[in-house]
Structure 1
Amino acid sequence: MLRLVLRWTLSILLLLLIAGVAGVYWLGKRAEPLYDGTVALPGLAAPVRVVYGPHAVPSIAADSLHDLLFAQGYVVASERLWQMDLMRRLASGRLAELFGPKLLPVDRFFRTIALGAEARRSLAALEPDDVALLRAYADGVNAYIARSAGRLPLEYLIARLGPEPWRPEDSLAIGAYMAWTQSFNLRGELTFLRLAQRIGPTLARELFPVDEGLPAPLVEPELVSYLAQRGAGRVARVDPARLDRLLALPGRLGMPMQGPASNAWLVSGLRSATGGALLANDPHLAASTPSIWYELELSAPQFHVAGAALPGVPLILIGHNADLAWGITSVIADTQDVFIEQVTDDGAHVLRSGGESEPIATRWESIAVKGGQPVRVAIRSTSRGLVLNDILGEVTGSLMDLPDAGLEDLLVLRQAHDQPDLGFRAVRRLCQARTLEAAMAAGLDMRHVSANLMLAHRDGGIAWQMTGQLPQRGKGTGAFPLPGWIDAYAWQGLVPQEMNPAYVDPVTGILITANNRSIAPDYPVRVSNAWSSPHRAQRIAALLAGEPVLEADDMARIQGDRVSLRARAVRDAVLALEPEIRAEDAGAWELVETYLRDWDGAMIAESRSAVFVELLESALFQALYGDELGEDLPALMSLAIVHYDPLAETLRSSVSSFWDDVTTPETEAPAEIWARALRAASARLAELPPGAEAGEPPALALVRSVAFPHAFDGLPLVGGLFSAGPVAVGGSADTIDVAKALPQDLWRVLFVPSMRLVATPGDWSQTRGSLTLGQSGHVFSPYRDDQLEDWRAVRGHAWPWKGPAEGATIGELLLSPGN
């Protein structure tokens, strides 16, 4: 009898489990959009035709630009509403009301940076026609929200929250956040300040090279004096690693985060097989679920574009119209400065030249918190910028209030955001441009993001235009924190945008940007104090030079290249010391013979040498700098994901003030440091899972992977349902097919090609591209991750132009005016 009762109980539990799973599946599936049929939507002036091709990529055709953007808002929201909602909440500092107190630090950070207010300023600066287009998009999103009542995406049911109406400023806030992710100086300047207090500003300066063979600018003498006489114990010892953790939180929620790495190169008709121009672009962003981009084609009278849009933002950000294609990479421009402010005895003012003082301004923000009371926070500022101490101080254990550390001196952030951004107008003008010159002029409306706008025209011409606005500094270079109490260091406004670098139709027929130094050191405007590594750009140039004429397939093949010139630099540097290392440690040299001597630097999945060289680089950081920097070493290593780093310069030149181990009485030579690093790398290699055969070291594919986290990634039971991956990947931080990880966390890839595009202006039907995962954000949709294997294999599919290819339609949706 007991056995029968137990059997019935288990059967009932199993049936309940099956019913629960089926219920979740049903709830998820019913939220998916229609790809075929008719939908009546109030707000449309005329019917809009949406034809879906392979991978559920829509081609939207309307009789007016208003109806076109209304339909874009509706269609994109039907696939990505949850993602759009999170992005606007992130930018506006409103995540805690969805996820609770653990997101308060992120909200406080972005309330301080004030991207929401920036979006409202931008909206007010736009012309009425552009505001009307943003409103049309918002109306389309709201039409979807109204229609989906009762069958919202599964995430809303789990979060027990519904979406608020979409507003035009929400789209601009998302754009402001994406622009902010392309500013990088804050972390570097805070790190310098920390290291300078440990080892002195002169030695710390060596750790911040600008580029190959270009040392950092001299540290301002007033800062040197300040740090020597008064800095210790007065400047807030902000932990840059804590900043890293804070800024990484959006990535754990499946949203873009700071991290520069993008490739784009142009080939003019002079170098192509067809006489037409070619464009390759693969912007590198944090891996996430859903994909960051959404593919579509948009057409209306006098308007026709195709490409990739940011969910929540109207129009096409990367793609082409009938006349030209455009791509984007980060410039790595220096548009942020940290000022040190000395506080008066009353704590309410900061010092200025001549014994004057300036009051500290305060504004208050109230942050709603799920499951708790709103948190009221004070946000302070001076004329030099926003006070950082309140958001970067140590957590006290209270409700994540991140208080000031109580130190007298303040750190403030100044950004080149004096004028409201006109980014939406820029994108609209870019979509409508017919000439390279018109497109370049449109790019200058992108005031808050410094980007390389790469352009290829159907007549075979190519061009590059740097967007954004640069600060007009007083004294100082802005490479390191500036003395705020000296008026001569204050910004004098902004550099006129006509000084931004640009180039049209070079005689070489090729233009390349890969976050590398793109201008001569003597260019009259200081664009950056810390470019990214030049290795990707150098590799692209070498591969392009190896082909007498180039075709679209060559561009795609180069996008998949996984040879690391930095890895080759490691190999060459150690081989140059063969006699010394052999004499110092024969066993260490055997490791070189085993893994490096005959290796070509290919970071491919089956390579064991690739695993060893990654471990060796990390060990070199420790062996070279660990004795001087101690617990601050990870802060320096984290910068390597952004900037050209001191280890790269030492590998190139073999020169460093850090070869000696200051903890020993002896003076170490480079061979001794290399031998230590080789031994340390070997020890770490032995700790990894074994390869295919017993005792065999692992290949790269066994240890390196990328996960695509969703906002629910950390939830018990259901977290794994929403996220994608992990999947094994090749490549490294310095390969064209990038796989960027922190040097201290080698196997967890953070940044990848978020999409790939090869545009062919001579024949738009040959344009190819792919996303990381897919078009849909719905968890059970067949289009959620159907592009993943193509992405891993660096294969593209045809982007629609004048609709899907014949016979490739999967559905046709008619959006009609109605009630």
Structure 2
Amino acid sequence: MKKYKKILLALAGLLLLVIIGIAIFINSLKPDYSGKKSLPGISDEVTTYFDPYGIPHIYAQNEKDAIKVLGYVHAQDRLWQMELLRRVAKGRLSEVFGEDMVKTDKFFLSLGIDDHTKATISNLDKQSETIALSQAYLDGINEFIKQGPTPIEFYLTGIEKEPFTIEDVYNAVGYMAFSFAMAHKTDPLLTSMRNKLGDDYIRELAVSSDTSTVWIKNHKGEETDTLGTNITASVTSALEKLPIPQFEGSNSWVVAPKKTKNGKVIFANDPHIGFAQPSVWYEAHVSTPTYEKYGYHLAGVPFPLLGHDRNLAYGLTMFENDDIDFYYEETNPSDSTQYKTAEGWENYEFVNKTIKVKDGDDVTFTYKKTHHGPILNNIADQISGERPVAMSWIYTKPTNMVLHALFGLSHATNIEEFKSALPNIHAPGLNVMYGDAQGNVAWWATAKLYEMPDSLSTKFILDGASGNEEPLRYLDFSENPMAENPPWNYVYSANNQPDSIAGMLYPGYYLPENRAKRIVQLLDAKDDWDKESISEMILDDTSPVNTELITELIKLFDVTHLNNEQLVMVDSLKNWNGKYSLTSTSPTLYHRALYYMVKNTMEDELGPEMFNQFLSTHLFKRQIAWGGKMETGKWWDNINTPDVVETREEMVIKSFSDAWNSLVEDFGPDSSQWTWDKVHTLEHEHPFGQVASLRKYFNVGPFPVNGTREVINNLAFPYDSTGFYKVNSGPSTRRIIDFSDVENSISILPTGQSGNPLSKHYDDQAQMYVNGEFRKMMMNQQEIEETAESVLIFR
């Protein structure tokens, strides 16, 4: 017995040592926020204070030292995110996740982002300040790779850490540029819809801009064709597998001194991006004797895309301009290596690529290119023999100066310097918002815009062989939409249609007027804005458009066919104020009925696959209110009942009935239990969270959340048959800069500053974000030093 006890004690001791060893190992993988470190290449000591939310405040004697430290601390919190982002354009996700990512890698390789990057880098001025500072940032990342702990994701996937290069920076920006685009989801699909149903149906869609909606004001017959459906389906499938978020939309408004209580500019911005863990932005405050900026950084990009200092603030929303066009190409019937152009037959360019696949054989593939761009047919797994479709994307055409633009924006000291950097942004199309301490407010749409022939819609696949459907000219930046210090004393953007300066419509995939209408409604009504009231506005979840639509549709109800409980709910909908609080039931019934209305009116013509693709487009968002208010039209009729022609009234009543029955099935007959919190939830998903056993360690949430699609607090979700609304995109930060009190400006992140699951800052802002709370963006050095959670000194 004594011997047995000794064995048990020995085993227990061994187990304890193993547990201690594991604990020590896991602890060693955490970011290091305190102490002293050697950082080769810096010329003087750099002190980094980490505030209570893990945000670094970097104090250095020169900017090159500061940005090298920024690279180091950014990497220790976000190296895994940097790794994934740089792999997208190079088609290297399959190396990490296996064969499931091959289609995605094929697609992104074919876009030519990496090839365009290589061409850009071959012509770079390596001595320019932009490139010198970028390299310093990369040196900081690479020093962390050498001496810092390896993030746990690298152990779990088995991939090796590799140094970062300037190519990785450009490729990250290239992914961002494509992420903004919507044409790949819309143009091929619309072409198939037109070919299948005819022009009469297309005329009843909100394809063109509606002049009755809120626009941003400036100051100063054929056989059915399935190819478009196939392209849209394949591209959507490729993008859905991405383990990093896509950019979606955004709000921003800047209020001039005449409309603020303290007589100073107030700036607000909340870019809408797909939710993921880690969240998109890394906050950092950099201060030197000659440069200071509080900025929001994309993983692996040295200069902030959003930023402010004591003198000026800037932010972004998505312009939503059309910068991708699709072209039908015509292959030479006697020589399959050639295609037709206006000048005669030209040779296809054949591009060979190889994808390395984890636990599998390399995948080698070849795709063709024309002067327009890559042929998508084989890339997107199309049926062999269908008409070739090429994708023309403005990003890969002009010289790439986007990194220089970001340097210029982050180093401008006044409105003139700031504006001079904007023409360097050719893609992605951005609404750049600006405000400063001198009282200036401005908005500029930045993109390389081009004019197409009159009456030509770029929302459909174009004719690539004739030469008659090509861009006529590029617009000068002065012809882009913009407003500088307008007499109405504010500027704003909510991804809605801008008015024209050049006397032409700017083609785009603009979002409906819902958010814009609410922003204008609130800003026009008040002339004493302050930080507190702006922070309430940025959380506003009221939709005037939804209430207008439901009021219109309820008029169609025959109340004699409703039971008492349904009468109560209809009365509640009549009096609904359009708010989306967690305890409200009206939003739940509204969205359930709205889904059925769209399904009942459109799925019979489109079929299930095309219908589901349509739901993922901005066009669908524009169609909801516009289509619902159409009293007559071809879509209302159910083509599966040829002996009956259904009306809007019949379809609306049927949809309400379908919604009611489905809610009873999900939540029971007591409609008071159909509250918004039961259906509208947010979970920030990490790629590893897809594994059930790892979900609780890597994902953050889920949380019931206020808000909805297309309100200012735009917590959006896809529509599907489940009737449950899992939020997949929304404000990637909410930030408010008040120039009457810059050092107390406020912001929030959706989860936390760190992407390392072992860091205390992985999710320490998540509940605050859901609650609509803010924290300070500190810039006062004394306050930073006194409240710092830790100090990390680099020598």
User: Which category of TM-score, normalised to the shorter sequence, fits these structures?
Assistant: over 0.9
SS at match of 1:658: helix
The amino acid of 2:291's aligned partner reads: F
Correspondence 1:528 to 2:507: yes
State the Cα deviation string for residues 275-304 of structure 1 (Å, max 9, x = none). 110111001111111121111101223211
Equivalent of 1:249 in 216, 241, 245:
241
Question: 1:349 aligned to 306, 316, 338, which one?
Answer: 338
Alignment correspondent of 2:698:
722
CA 1:245–1:13: 2 relative to 1, 3 Å: farther
1:648 aligns with 2:641: no
Whole-Å separation in 1 of the counterparts to 2:508 and 2:672: 44
Q: 2:308 aligns with which of 301, 320, 327?
A: 320
Question: Using a 3 Å threshold, how does the CA distance of structure 1 residues 590 and 808 change in structure 2: closer, same or farther?
Answer: same
Write the letter of the residue equivalent to 2:340: L
Q: 1:239 to 1:123 in 2, by over 3 A?
A: closer
For residues 376 and 511 of structure 1, what CA distance do their matches in structure 2 show? Answer: 50
CA 1:352–1:545 in structure 2 vs 1: closer, same or farther (change >3 Å)?
A: same
- Tell me how far apart the structure 1 counterparts of residues 442 and 109 of structure 2 sit (CA, whole Å): 37
User: What stretches of structure 1 of length at least 5 have no aligned partner?
Assistant: 216-223, 394-403
If the length of structure 2 is used for normalisation, what is the TM-score? 0.92
Contact kept in structure 2, 1:323 and 1:457, CA below 8 Å: yes
Partner in structure 1 of residue 139 of structure 2: 139
Aligned to 1:603: 580
Q: Which of 643, 650, 657 in structure 2 is aligned with 1:672?
A: 650
Task: Give the match for residue 212 of structure 1.
Answer: 210
Three-state SS of the structure 2 residue aligned to 1:563 is coil
User: Which residue does 1:755 correspond to in 2?
Assistant: 733
Matched, 1:509 2:473: no
For residues 204-603 of structure 1, what are the structure 2 equivalents within 5 Å? Answer: 204-213=202-211, 228=222, 232=224, 235=227, 237-238=229-230, 240-250=232-242, 253=243, 255-258=244-247, 260-345=248-333, 346-353=335-342, 356-393=344-381, 404-417=382-395, 418-474=397-453, 476-492=456-472, 494-520=474-500, 523-578=502-557, 581-582=558-559, 590=567, 593=570, 595-603=572-580
Question: How far off is 1:501 after superposition?
Answer: 1.4
User: What's the CA shift string for 1:213-270, capped at 9, x where partnerless?
Assistant: 579xxxxxxxx5xxx1xx54584651524432221111xx2x1225x22100010011
What TM-score do the two structures reach when normalised by structure 1? 0.90
| Counterpart residue number, 2:218 | none
Cross-structure match for 1:812 = 791
Q: Note if contact 1:588-1:675 (Cα within 8 Å) is conserved in structure 2.
A: no
Q: Take 1:242 and 1:591, find their aligned partners in 2: how far apart are those partners?
A: 45
Whether the 8 Å CA contact 1:211–1:530 is kept in 2: the answer is no
CA distance in 1, matches of 2:683, 2:448: 35
Q: AA paired with 2:237?
A: R
How far off is 1:762 after superposition? 3.0
CA 591–121 in structure 1, closer or farther in 2 if over 3 Å, else same = farther
State the alpha-carbon separation in 1 of the partners of residues 369 and 741 from structure 2. 53
Equivalent residues in 2 for 1:50-129, closer than 5 Å: 50-127=48-125, 128-129=127-128
CA distance in 2, matches of 1:359, 1:292: 42
In structure 2, distance between residues paired with 1:815 and 1:491: 53
1:686–1:98 distance in 2 versus 1, CA, 3 Å: same
Name the SS for the 1:84 alignment partner.
Answer: helix
Task: Give the deviation of 1:795 after TM superposition.
Answer: 1.5
Please, which runs of 5 or more residues in structure 2 have no aligned partner? 214-220
- What is the DSSP-based 3-state SS (H/G/I as helix, E as strand, rest coil) of the residue aligned with 1:198? helix
**Corresponding position of 2:663:** 685
Within 2, Cα distance between the matches of 1:755 and 1:15?
47
What letter corresponds to residue 133 of structure 1 in structure 2?
Answer: L
The 3 A distance-change label for structure 1 pair 392 and 442 is: same
Shift of 1:370: 1.2
Q: Does the 8 Å CA contact 2:182/2:617 hold for their aligned counterparts?
A: no
Note if contact 2:188-2:228 (Cα within 8 Å) is conserved in structure 1: no
Cα contact 1:531–1:644 (8 A) shared by 2:
no
Which of the numbers 182, 194, 197 marks the counterpart of 2:195? Answer: 197
| Matches of 1:523 and 1:687, distance apart in 2 | 54
Q: Is the 2:735–2:746 contact (alpha carbons within 8 Å) kept by the matching residues of 1?
A: yes
**Distance across 1 between alignment mates of 2:625 and 2:564:** 25
Equivalent residue number for residue 165 of structure 2: 167
Q: Aligned equivalents of 1:131 and 1:722: distance in 2?
A: 35
Determine the structure 2 residue equivalent to 1:176: 174
Deviation at 1:45, TM superposition (A): 2.0
- 1:54 to partner: Cα distance: 1.9
CA RMSD for the aligned pairs? 2.7
- % identity of equivalent residues: 24
Task: Tell me the equivalent position of 2:216.
Answer: none
Mapped partners of 1:125, 1:577: distance in 2: 64
Could you tell me how far apart the structure 2 residues matched to 1:614 and 1:570 are? 12
Alignment-mate amino acid for residue 286 of structure 1: G
Alignment correspondent of 1:399: none
Aligned residues: 775
Kindly state the Cα deviation for residue 810 of structure 1 after the two structures are TM-superposed: 1.0
Cα distance, 1:208 vs. partner? 3.9
Distance 2:108 2:398 in 1: 19
Q: CA 1:727–1:353 in structure 2 vs 1: closer, same or farther (change >3 Å)?
A: same
Matched-pair contact (CA < 8 Å) for 1:584–1:672 = no
Alpha-carbon shift at residue 525 of structure 1 (Å): 4.1
Say if 1:213 and 1:649, in contact at 8 Å, map to a contact too. no
CA contact (8 A) 1:69 1:315 kept: no
* Alpha-carbon distance in structure 2 between the residues aligned to 1:720 and 1:390: 39
* 8 Å Cα contact 2:554-2:570 kept in structure 1: no
**Cα deviation per residue 1:417-443 (whole Å; 9 max; x = unaligned)?**
211221221111111212222212212
Q: CA deviation at 1:28?
A: 3.4
Aligned pair in 2 of structure 1 residues 369, 200: CA closer, same or farther (>3 Å)?
Answer: same
The aligned counterpart of 1:796 is: 774
**2:710 equivalent to 1:712:** no
How much does 1:657 deviate? 2.9
Q: Tell me by how many angstroms 1:583 deviates.
A: 6.5
Output the CA distance in 2 between the equivalents of 1:715 and 1:527. 44
* Partner SS, residue 79 of structure 2: helix
CA distance in 1, matches of 2:34, 2:516: 45
Structure 1 pair 443–675 and aligned structure 2 pair: CA distance change class (3 A): same
* Structure 2 contact 184–232 (Cα < 8 Å) conserved: no
Q: Deviations over 1:765-805 (max 9, x none)?
A: 12100101111111121111111111112221111214354
